[in-house]
Amino acid sequence: GFVTQRRDVLATYQFVHDELREAVLARLGEDLPALHRHAATALEAVHGGGDEVAGRLAFHFGAAGDHGPAYRWGLRAGAFALGQHGFSAAADHYGRALAAADAGGLSVTPEDLERWGDALTFSGRGDQAASAYERALDRCAPGDDVRRVALLARVAELEFRAARLTRATSPLEALLPRLGGHVYGRAEAVEATREAAERVLLASERAGAPQDSLDAAEATRLEVLCDTYRNLAEIAYYYDPQRRDFYHSLACHLAVRLGTGRAAAQTFALTAFLAGLDGRFEVAEVAGERALRVARELGDPVTLMFASALVGTTFVSAGDLTRALDASAAAWAIAQRVEEPQRMMTVVSTHALTLAAAGRADESAAVSRLARELGAHHGYTRVGEMAVIGGCAAAMAAGRFDDAVALAREADAMERRGSRMLALQLRSYGALARAMVEHRARPDLALDVVDAWRAGRFDSLVCNIDGNALLTGALAARHGLHGDVIARLDHVASSGRAAAERSRAKKGLFTAAAGLYALSQGRDEGRILLDEGLAYALRYGMRGDLALLAEVRARIERPPP
C-alpha cells in the first residue's frame, strides 16, 4: 500500500510518496510525454525560462522526447550549477544534456564536452572526466592548439593524481611547441632559472607595473601556457627538481605578464610554496600576498582555497604557525563549503601537515585519514600518498611510532609509482620510528635516505631528512657505532648547517638533533646545540618537533636494556 502503519510507534504512519507517484505515472502510458511537454511549456510561460528552472525544463523536455530543448536547457542548467559550485549537480546536468544530444543526433561542441569534463573533475569523477576531455579533443578544430593544450593539461592533472606520470606529461610536452611553448630537455629550450623568474616577480611588485596589454587571443594563449607550465612543475616536484624549476620559472614569468586570472593566482601560490621551502622568505611573502590578492579579486572560492592552502605552508616554513594555521583553516573551511574533491584533497593534506607541525597530532591524524579516504574513493592515488605522509608526521609527533613504522612500509609502492621524493621522506620517518621501537637502531638506513635525497637534488625539507638521520644515530650510539657510520653522521651534522640556517621551521629540529648526536659521542658542544635547537623550535611554535625531540631524548637517557 501507499500508506502503512508503523506498529513499533503508536499512531505513526509512513507515506510512500515515490511509489504513489510511480503508480500514477505508470497509468498514463502514451499520455506521459505530452504531460511532460505541457509541464515544460507551463514552466517557460510562468518563469520565463530562468536559470533556476533550467534543470526542470531539461528534465521535462527530455522525458517528452524533445531532444533539442532538453540539450539546450541541460547545458544552461549545467552552467548555472557550475557557477554556483554545485559540481556534482553540474556534472549530472551536462551528462543528461549530452545524452539528449546523442539521442537526437545533435552536434556537440568541444566547449560543451570540456565543461562537462570540468564538472566531473571537480566532483571527483576522474575517469569519466578524462573520457569527456578525450571526446572534446576529438572534436577540436584543426589548428586549435590552444584548446588542445588546455584539454591535455586537464588530462595530465588527472593522470598525475592517479600516479601515472608518463601518461601525465608525454602527450602534453609533445604538443607544447605548437603553442609556442618550451619543453624541458629539448635542445631549443630556453634557459629558464628560478632566480630570474623571482627577480622579475620582485621587480614588478616594487614597481607596481601594470600587466601587459594583450588582445583576447594572446591572453588566452598565455593563460593556457601559464597553467600548463604550472601543472608540469607541480608534477615534477615529486621526482625531478630541475624539471620542476624549469617549468615553474616559465610559469612565473607568464603569471607576472598576465597579472590576473586563475593560472596567475595558482602560479603565484606555487612560487610562494617553493620559495618558502628553500628559505627565500621575501619571495615567499610577495608571491603569497599576490596569490591571495588575485584569488580574492577573481571571486572564485576554488582558486582562493588552493592559494590559501599553499600560502599556509609558506608560513610554516617561515616559522609563523599562527598565520599558517589561520590560512590552512581558511582553506579547509572553503573546501568543506564548496565540496570540490580535487583541490579539497590537496587542502586536506597540507592542513594535516600544518596541524602536525603545531603539535596537534590527533587532529592531524583525523584529517589525514579523511584525505586518504577521499583519495581512495575518487581514485586519486597521489592524494592518498600525501595523506600517508601527513599521517606519519602526526604519528611521530604523537609518539605513536608503531603506527609510523606501519605507514612507512608503503614507501616502496610509492617509489614504483614515481613518487620518489615522498618515498624517501617516508623512509626517513620509518628509519627513525623503527629506532624508537626496536632495541638496535639502524642509522645506516637513515643515512642511505640522506644520500639518496641529496643525489636526487631534493633541496627542500632536507633539514627533516638530516635531522631524522642524526636522531637515529644518537639512539644507535647506546650500542656503539662503527667508524664509517660516525664519519657519515659527522658529515651530515656539518654539511646540513647551511640548509638549517635557511629554514626557520626546521632549524630547531636539525640543531637539537645535532646536539643529541654530539652528546651521544661525548662531545662538549652537544649541550649548547641541544639548548639552542630546543629554544629555536619553541620560539617558532614547532610543538610537533618538540614532542619528538623529547621522546628521543628520553630514550637516549634511559639505560639500555
Mean pLDDT of 291-320: 91
Is 351 a residue whose pLDDT tops 60? yes
Other Cβ atoms within 10 Å of 242 Cβ, number = 10
DSSP annotation of 41 reads H
Q: What percent of the chain has pLDDT over 90?
A: 47
Ranking 16-30, 53-67, 166-180, 418-432 by mean pLDDT, the lowest is 16-30
Is 332 a residue whose pLDDT tops 90? no
Is 92 a residue whose pLDDT tops 70? yes
Mean pLDDT of 374-390: 84
For the chain, give every domain's residue range: 3-139, 300-398, 410-561
Mean pLDDT of 92-104: 93
Q: Which residue has the higher pLDDT, 64 or 544?
A: 544
Is 2 a residue whose pLDDT tops 50? no
Which stretches within 318-380 are classed as H helix?
Answer: 321-338, 341-357, 361-378
Is 454 a residue whose pLDDT tops 70? yes
Q: Which residue has the higher pLDDT, 441 or 266?
A: 266
Instruction: Classify residue 361 by burial, with Cβ atoms within 10 Å: 0-12, 13-18, 19+.
Output: buried
Mean pLDDT of 18-24: 59
Q: Which residues of 335-350 are buried (b: 16+ CB within 10 A; e: fewer)?
A: beebebbbbbbbbbbb
Angle value at C-alpha 433, between 354 and 392, nearest 5 degrees: 30
In this prediction, residue 86 has a pLDDT band, given cuts at 50, 70 and 90, of confident
Mean pLDDT of 526-534: 96
Is 71 a residue whose pLDDT tops 70? yes
Write down the pLDDT at residue 57: 81
Element housing 455 (H / E): helix 443-455
Is 9 a residue whose pLDDT tops 60? no
Write down the pLDDT at residue 5: 47
Is 549 a residue whose pLDDT tops 50? yes
Is 492 a residue whose pLDDT tops 90? yes
Write down the pLDDT at residue 22: 64
* Termini Cα distance of the chain: 74
Topology match between the domains 3-139 and 300-398? yes
Q: Assign residue 503 a region: left if phi > 0, alpha if psi is -120 to 50, beta otherwise?
A: beta
364 within 8 A of 348, measured Cβ to Cβ:
no
Ranking 254-268, 372-386, 423-437 by mean pLDDT, the lowest is 372-386
Question: Under CATH, which number does the domain 3-139 receive?
Answer: 1.25.40.10
Fold of the 300-398 domain: 1.25.40
* Mean model confidence pLDDT for the chain: 86
Mean pLDDT of 398-422: 93
Write down the pLDDT at residue 36: 66
Cross-strand partners of 3: 15
Mean pLDDT of 160-177: 78
Q: Cα–Cα distance between 561 and 553 in angstroms, integer?
A: 16
Write down the pLDDT at residue 3: 44
Write down the pLDDT at residue 451: 95
Q: What percent of the chain has pLDDT over 70?
A: 88
Task: Write out the E strands in 358-464.
Answer: none
256 is written with which cell numbers?
A: 607576472
Q: Assign residue 16 a region: left if phi > 0, alpha if psi is -120 to 50, beta otherwise?
A: beta
Write down the pLDDT at residue 157: 81
Q: Cα–Cα distance between 514 and 528 in angstroms, integer?
A: 10
Is 556 a residue whose pLDDT tops 80? yes
**pTM to 2 decimal places:** 0.80
The string of pLDDT tens digits covering residues 480-491 is 899 999 999 999
Mean pLDDT of 206-224: 79
Instruction: Classify residue 411 by burial, with Cβ atoms within 10 Å: 0-12, 13-18, 19+.
Output: buried
